[in-house]
Chains A and B, each alone.
Chain A
Amino acid sequence: MSSYLKSVDTDWYKQRLSGAMLWAMAGFFLLFTRFFYLQIIEGEEFKRLSENNCIRLQTIDPPRGLIFDAKGRLLVDNRPSFDLGIVARDARFLEQTLAKLAEYIQESPEALMEKIRSSKGVPSHKPVILKSDIDRDLLAVVEVHKFELPGVEVIVRPVRNYAFGSNAVHLIGYVGQINAAELKTERYAGYNPGDLIGKCGVESVYERFLRGKAGGRQIEVNATGRVVRVLKTLNARSGHNVYLSIDQNLQEKAESLLAGQAGAVVAMDPRNGRILALTSSPSFDPNSFVTGMSRADWETLVSDANHPLENKAIQGEYPPASTFKIITAMAGLEEGVITEHTKIFCNGVYRLGNRDFRCWKKGGHGWMSVVDALAESCDVFFYEVGQRLGVDRIARYAKACGLGAKTEIGLEHEGAGLIPTSEWKKQRYGVGWQRGETLSVAIGQGFNLTTPLQMLTVAAAVANDGQLVKPYVVDAVEAGDGTRVYEAAEHSAGRMPASENTLAIIQKGLWKVVNGNRGTARIARIEGIHVSGKTGTAQVVSRKGSDSFRKIETRKHLKSHAWFITYAPSENPVIAVSVIVEHGEHGSSAAAPIARDVVAAYLGKNQPVDDAALDNEVR
């Protein structure tokens, strides 16, 4: 039967077309009957339903997921907020209803009217919020007079409750209303105007877990907007619960230690990167964002010179100062420009060309080995090492230790810091690298910038025999029924480019910083535990001029930033801490005691060694 024809007879197509025509007509007939059914037979009923736009949709907000600390203590939950709203088209007549309402809630009717006018975008079948978060007395008044107030409704919605106020606010973040720009992004597909979203911190990063899924009701209402019946309900699914890695007790301790100063404290388990505490000071109360903040309060918050909104632990970029000597020492030892036994004489001044670079200790340190130079933070020793290395070799080691790049802690707006190279300077400034600048870089000044978190990972890696870890702040996310939907996994971030021997030398140096007779941080000793660490004092003054080490510390904002990074116990470290105190002057006096107390609290030792009649010329 199979036959290929050069051209099919057109009659054959005609026959097929007639068949197609019948099918099409059947389709149109189906549509026609449906029109007839909807518009003629059921028309009256639909007309009635359309009259008052009776069928409406009420959304049911899902309770947002809770946030706990590592030990299961509840840090963030939800509470009901009662909002007073009015559906303008149901409030017949609007002026009369508003006048009555104004009397009951003691507000001026004009103010209420203004609220309705300014809510242009809200469709007239949706309530305009007149007053949010009303108290129970007011609620009772409104409920009692409900029948004189057509169109007025009380809307209950869950709002965020930060149980510990400003506690860990930079880590946890806060929620706020989604804005127009955010609504347009792919990330917030399916969100509606007015929805609350996490605005920063864990609240934002874990938004998709915390949010849950909104439910809703199809309802039929009568002419005054009262619900006649519920047609369909879709329950909301509450958000998943997030378990942070932080320990609330340690967090509180860190916050109290930093209170009244600007700076940051971060503590981490060096073995796996779990963040144990993360605080930035000054802070703010996230609850004030929940109920809506006045413009004036907001202005004060953003214009504060100490930047309370900034998370200094991960966003703050500071010169690492002497804490950077760990890197310089490592590079020197690995590149073979020094050994453990190399001695360099410090007479207090290092001369390069016709310029003098001073050591912080006026008289000089005398003959220094690398271990002593770390312990006493001798600048001249590291000037010489830096000079032997050159800037690019230092930079290579710094970058291999994770500096100059984000740690990927999993929080937004993390700073990457800056590790300068000669090529970078050429591109950035168009001029070549100056030899003197290498000296500044070698002691962590100059163009170097790091975040407290980055220096924490350096301390942790030294503690960890060179193993770098990626820090993280969330242990797990659990659904309401207890199933784990996310679990933190340890991520190795590579190894420090250092041999065991090199690390042992550095570890010895850091041990001596705290425990040596002339160590710069003897103040950080704790009874019964060996602590290791490194101090740093970051110059704030911009040093464009040649002799830039003059101390200008008369005015507060020109005082140096104080650094201390530490780990303990030295033999078998379980905690690493990084502290920066802005304008705290000396790492030893301002930052080290804070770090010491955090370590002591974590290890359950509340007795710092109290022979703190320590020499004060340390830095």
Chain B
Amino acid sequence: MFDRRLLQNFEWRLLALCFTLGVLGLIALYSAVSAGSPAPQTALFYKQLVWFGIGAVLMILAFALNYKILDKLANFIYVGCIAMLGAVLVMGKYAGGSRRWLLLGPVSVQPSELIKLVLIIVLARYYSKLTKTNGYTLRELIFPAFAVLLPCALIVKQPDLGTAMLLILIAGSVTLFVKIERRSFWILISGATVLAPLVWFFLKGYQKQRILTFLDPDRDPLGAGYHIIQSKIAIGSGMLTGKGFQHGTQNVLSFLPEHHTDFIFSVFAEEWGFAGSVVLLAGFMILIIWGLSIAYRCRDPFGVILSFGITAMIFWQAFINMGMVMGLMPVVGVPLPLISYGGSSVVTNMISIGLLMNISMRRYMFDS
């Protein structure tokens, strides 16, 4: 099955970009976990290195096999992933106020990371089987709505509001991309505007509080609100050129919460300043442009929608994460792809990029 054209079309530059982002992430992580804090957690750095290794192997797998087999396997993978999400609620590992991890032997995986990609595959399969130019009607959207709301419900239970919202954003982007029929679109919009206050009415007090704090961190001056202030100070104080590797002060004093996961970008921006931030931002921008151009060149609807979905996923994660640490967005647990600490996130994103390569490599091949 290995064709010379595959090698010719291999996305070396995309691989190089992915590698560069990974290295930038490791630099930031090293600083976040080691610098000056009373109890360095350098073990996390090495763990992340191992995850990158695992991610690389899976990435090779993700571009070596023809992506079209995913079309056939989509439903199985989806059911398996939903089962894992269910298992998390029953026997997941509890840490830091929520239940997100499933212990599989020595490793703990976060099925809510994997489901992001799995959902895209399922949607791509559904929409590519039923292609239309004038958009999907409400009835045709019932299946996609169900496919996204089921994992959302399970993830909200953990509780992890951020990841659930992200799933809706990704599914929404994909659906808007394949187009919703005009009348159905307006029915959906007006339905949502009517329903939202009704749902609000039925929510319990603490649930309302959680959503309000989510939208406005200032309501929680001791938690999210404080984290945002510290994060803004960290980023802003980096100024043009930054304070230098391992010279960040906010990080050192553990002012920043989650400074190796969700808030790692603050550490990076403090140490490398505006210059570093722009480099990282440009990296993500090129990645997004690349992803979209792969979709642009692909001629198979499944491939187009899959590559668009993956690109949308990376975009939303990067946008929400950076927006959050700069105080533009609600504080949610969304990792920065390839930069934040977290095995499941790294692996999911590397497989996703592997799939992008896969689609790009096979763009001239028609086997069915």
Are A190's CB and B222's CB within 8 A? no
Q: Are A7 and B301 interface neighbours, CB within 8 A? A: yes
Determine the distance from Cα of A215 to Cα of B220 in the docked complex, in whole angstroms.
10
How many Å lie between the Cα of A422 and that of B255 in the bound state?
63
Q: With A5-B132, A53-B253, A55-B233 given, is the CB distance from A13 to B281 under 8 Å?
A: no
Given A46-B232, A234-B222, verify A5-B131 contact (CB < 8 Å). Answer: yes
Assess whether B226 is in contact with A40, with CB atoms less than 8 Å apart: no
Task: Given A39-B239, A49-B233, A59-B222, decide whether A32 and B278 contact each other with a Cβ distance below 8 A.
Answer: yes
Q: B222 contacts which chain A residues (CB < 8 A)?
A: 57, 59, 214-216, 218, 234
| A429 at the B interface (CB under 8 A) | no
A485 within 8 A of B: no
By the criterion CB–CB under 8 Å, are B239 and A123 in contact? Answer: no
Contact bitstring A4-43, B, C-beta under 8 A = 1, else 0: 1111111011101100110011011011101110111011
Interface SS of B by simple majority: helix
| Shortest Cβ distance from A218 into B: residue | B221
Check: A604 CB closer than 8 A to any chain B CB: no
Q: How far is the CA of A125 from the CA of B38 in the complex (A)?
A: 12
Partner of A50, one of B178, B249, B284: B249
Q: Mark A162-197, 1 if CB is under 8 A from B, else 0.
A: 000000000000000000000000100110000000
B117 at the interface (CB under 8 A from A): no
Q: A3-B132, A50-B233 are in contact. Are A39 and B253 (CB under 8 A)?
A: no
Which chain B residue shows the least CB distance to A8? B131
A10 touches B322 (CB 8 A): no
In the assembled complex, the Cα of A57 lies from the Cα of B132 at a distance in Å of 56
**For residue B295, which residue of chain A has the nearest CB?**
A17
Interface digits, B304-339 against A, CB 8 Å rule (1 contact, 0 not)? 100010001001000100110010100000000000
Contact A8 B323 (CB under 8 A): no
Q: A24-B315, A50-B250 are in contact. Are A13 and B226 (CB under 8 A)?
A: no
Whether B296 is near chain A, meaning CB under 8 Å from some CB there, is yes
Determine the distance from Cα of A21 to Cα of B295 in the docked complex, in whole angstroms.
Answer: 11
Q: With A8-B133, A125-B253 known to touch, is A50 a contact of B38 (CB < 8 Å)?
A: no
Distance in Å from the Cβ of A466 to the closest Cβ of chain B?
Answer: 42
Per-position binary interface string of chain B over residues 152-192, scored 1 when its CB falls under 8 Å from any chain A CB and 0 otherwise: 00000000000000000000010001110000000000000
Residues of chain B within 8 A (CB-CB) of A1 are 134
Interface window among B4-12, B107-115, B285-293? B285-293
Query: Is B342 at the interface (CB under 8 A from chain A)?
Result: no
Report the Cα distance A189→B95, complex, angstroms. Answer: 9
Shortest Cβ gap from B323 to chain A (Å):
7
| Surface stretch bound by A, among B43-51, B59-67, B71-79, B269-277 | B269-277
Residue B211 CB within 8 A of the other chain: no
Chain A residue with minimal CB distance to B328? A34
* A231: chain B residues within 8 A (beta carbon): 221
Chain B residue numbers with a CB within 8 Å of A10 are: 298-299, 304
Q: Nearest-CB distance from A326 to chain B (Å)? A: 45
Residue in contact with B322 in the complex, picked from A31, A45, A124, A186, CB distance below 8 Å: A31
Report the minimum CB–CB distance from B355 to chain A (whole Å). Answer: 17
Residues A53 and B250 in contact, CB atoms below 8 Å apart: yes
Who on chain B is nearest to A4 by CB? Answer: B132
- Identity of the chain A residue whose Cβ is nearest the Cβ of B230 in the assembled complex: A55
For the complex formed, measure the closest distance between the CB of A291 and the CB atoms of chain B, giving whole angstroms.
27
What 1/0 flags go to B127-148 for Cβ under 8 Å of A? 0001111100000000000000
Chain A residues whose CB sits within 8 angstroms of the CB of B250 once the complex forms: 50, 53
Q: Which among A16, A35, A42 is the interface contact of B278 at CB below 8 angstroms?
A: A35
Residue of B whose beta carbon sits closest to that of A123: B254
Cβ-defined partner of B253 (8 Å) among A21, A32, A36, A123: A123
- Residue A260 at the B interface, CB < 8 A? no
* Given known A38-B236, A45-B236, A55-B230, contact A28–B281 (CB-CB < 8 A): yes
A31-B281, A50-B236 given; 19 more Cβ-contact pairs under 8 Å: A1-B134, A2-B132, A8-B132, A17-B295, A24-B285, A24-B292, A24-B315, A27-B315, A28-B281, A31-B323, A32-B281, A34-B323, A39-B240, A40-B239, A47-B239, A50-B250, A53-B250, A122-B38, A189-B97
**Can you offer 11 A-B residue contacts whose CB atoms are under 8 A?**
A8-B301, A24-B292, A28-B281, A31-B319, A31-B323, A32-B278, A39-B235, A39-B269, A39-B277, A50-B233, A234-B222
